[in-house]
Amino acid sequence: MSAKVEIYTSSLCGYCSAAKRLLTQKGISFDETDVTFDPDMRRAMTERAGGRTSVPQIFINGDGIGGCDDLYALERAGRLDALLAGSKAG
């Protein structure tokens, strides 16, 4: 079973594009929520992300992993594939 991936983005965000590009290259589908013009959704994202206001905010199986740099750090550490496969990588 593959993981459920959610990503909060805003338009013209290079980090958002880079995160989506990595997920797409890995063949991972994701639910994207653009918070550019939706202050209520941005507040919901911030609350869900533990106060983080920057985009992207990425969630795998409901767990916040952070932003683009965090996603790429998981990839470099060899831990992203396990998370995306639906298992915990510690």
Cα–Cα distances (Å) from 8 to 45, 60, 89, in that order, read 7, 12, 22
Q: What is the pLDDT of residues 19-70, one digit of tens each?
A: 999 999 999 999 999 999 999 999 999 999 999 999 999 999 999 999 999 9
**What pLDDT shows up at residue 19?**
98
Give the helix ranges, DSSP H, for 4-85.
Answer: 14-25, 39-48, 68-76, 80-84
Domain boundaries, the chain: 5-84
The verdict on domain 5-84 having CATH code 3.40.30.10 is yes
DSSP one-letter code for 51: T
In the numeric block, which tokens belong to residue 19? 């995160």
pTM: 0.93
Residue 87 predicted with pLDDT over 90: no
Taking the C-alpha atoms of residue 20 and residue 77, their distance in angstroms, rounded to an integer, is 19
